[in-house]
């Protein structure tokens, strides 16, 4: 039974806040008034070793993916940094650690470029490639890491990742009788990624009927170890996913309410949860831009790349990040909504994703 840190004593971490994403209210207000960024994202290659049936990356037309050179990535990072971004997330169309621009087996080319421009790197990974050595290196590189955590059951975990054999008991660590976590998550804990405040370790859990009864326990597991939470239902635009597996909004919100009650009693932290994400409102829309190697998107759920007024694809060759963020109608819409006191979520994305 492992999955703990003997010297972990602080309980100051908030459930949804991670290192590099700990923006203040002043930061948000300044970004709105000055039309600047707080974050940026890079979509790594679509190569993946899993086939999750609900993967949101299916909304992106993979034939449009362009393997941007490191020089082009460098140019992108330079621009987002100059526009105020503090952190850059690597959220792959596939598995980031299979992309040699992210990790070539020895070095982290992308992370080195991010550091050059004063940016913190956060990587979203399925965790299957995280071993002791890689976890240690990521900790030394000051990386913030988010891993998949769908279930304490190896069989349910495999079902939800669509790849038989990826999460057998041999590839998991037993934390209590009959309950397992992936070895990659255990190695990240052992490397001390969750000892920082704010934490540098998070988990991502998509809620389906397969794991819905475990969600509260997963939340408890994470909070007891200062691991940040990323929970959601099956988001719109994802792969065709049999409706018999989709949890109703009512059931999802019931669980989120249970979690909110638990958090208030545990730490005194109050938040009003609502779907599809468990966090109380999207903190990215209008403050974040995504570069997929060819064009740009304004948020994670956007199906379409940003176009100019003539319907042409906006690229690094014909525009700048500053011009997009400060003048594009989608960014203007998000800023106006925030100025009007609206809470932004995926409904807002649908409205602007035309």
Q: Classify residue 281: in a domain, yes or no.
A: yes
Mean pLDDT of 16-39: 92
Nearest to 345 by CA among 288, 290, 280: 280
Mean pLDDT of 303-332: 93
d(CA 50, CA 93): 11
Q: Classify residue 8: in a domain, yes or no.
A: no
CA angle centred on 200, ends 195 and 202, rounded to 5°:
110
Residue 40 has pLDDT above 70, yes or no: yes
Confidence band, pLDDT 50/70/90 cuts, at residue 8: very low
Please give the pLDDT value at position 2.
47
Q: Classify residue 316: in a domain, yes or no.
A: yes
* 15 neighbors 263 (Cβ within 8 angstroms): yes
Question: How many other CB atoms are found less than 10 A from the CB of residue 277?
Answer: 20
Q: Classify residue 12: in a domain, yes or no.
A: no
Q: Classify residue 19: in a domain, yes or no.
A: no
Q: Classify residue 17: in a domain, yes or no.
A: no
Q: Classify residue 71: in a domain, yes or no.
A: yes
Please give the pLDDT value at position 276.
62
- pLDDT 10s digits, 181-215: 999 999 999 999 999 989 999 999 989 999 999 99
Please give the pLDDT value at position 55.
78
d(CA 75, CA 80): 9
Q: Classify residue 217: in a domain, yes or no.
A: yes
- pLDDT 10s digits, 244-281: 678 888 888 889 889 989 999 988 888 777 666 676 55
Number of domains within the chain:
1
Please give the pLDDT value at position 299.
80
d(CA 332, CA 213): 40
Confidence band, pLDDT 50/70/90 cuts, at residue 58: low
Mean pLDDT of 146-171: 88
Domain that holds residue 232: 25-352
User: Average pLDDT of the chain?
Assistant: 86
Confidence band, pLDDT 50/70/90 cuts, at residue 81: very high
Residue 127 has pLDDT above 50, yes or no: yes
Residue 154 has pLDDT above 70, yes or no: yes
CATH of the domain at 122: 3.20.20.70
H or E stretch at 147: strand 144-148
The pLDDT > 70 percentage for the chain reads 84
């Amino acid at each position: 039974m492992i999955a703990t840190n003997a010297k972990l004593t602080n309980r100051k971490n908030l459930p949804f806040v991670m290192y590099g994403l700990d923006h203040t209210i002043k930061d948000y207000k300044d970004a709105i008034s000055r039309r600047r960024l707080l974050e940026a994202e890079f979509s790594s290659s679509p190569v993946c070793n899993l086939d999750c049936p609900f993967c949101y990356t299916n909304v992106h037309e993979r034939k449009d993916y362009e393997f941007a050179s490191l020089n082009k990535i460098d140019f992108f990072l330079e621009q987002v940094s100059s526009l105020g971004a503090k952190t850059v997330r690597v959220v792959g169309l596939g598995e980031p650690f299979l992309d040699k621009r992210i990790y070539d087996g020895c070095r982290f080319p992308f992370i080195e470029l991010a550091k050059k421009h004063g940016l913190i790197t956060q990587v979203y990974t399925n965790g299957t490639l995280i071993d002791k050595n890689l976890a240690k290196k990521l900790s030394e590189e000051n990386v913030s890491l988010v891993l998949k955590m769908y279930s304490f059951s190896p069989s349910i975990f495999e079902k939800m990742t669509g790849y038989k054999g990826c999460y057998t008991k041999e590839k998991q660590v037993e934390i209590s009788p009959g309950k397992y976590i992936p070895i990659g998550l255990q190695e990240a804990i052992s490397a001390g990624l969750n000892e920082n405040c704010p934490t540098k370790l998070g988990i991502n859990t998509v809620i389906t009927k397969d794991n819905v009864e475990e969600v509260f326990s997963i939340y408890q597991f994470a909070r007891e170890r200062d691991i940040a939470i990323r929970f959601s239902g099956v988001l719109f635009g994802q792969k065709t996913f049999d409706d018999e597996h989709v949890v109703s909004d009512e059931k999802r919100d019931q669980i989120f309410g249970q979690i909110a009650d638990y958090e208030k009693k545990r730490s005194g932290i109050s938040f009003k949860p609502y779907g599809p994400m468990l966090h109380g409102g999207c903190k990215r829309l209008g403050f974040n831009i995504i570069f997929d190697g060819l064009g740009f998107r304004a948020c994670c759920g956007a199906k379409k790349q940003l176009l100019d007024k003539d319907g042409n694809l906006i690229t690094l060759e014909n525009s700048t990040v500053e011009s997009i963020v400060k003048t594009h109608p989608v960014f203007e819409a998000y800023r106006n909504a925030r100025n009007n006191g609206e809470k932004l979520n995926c409904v807002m994305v649908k409205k602007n994703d035309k």
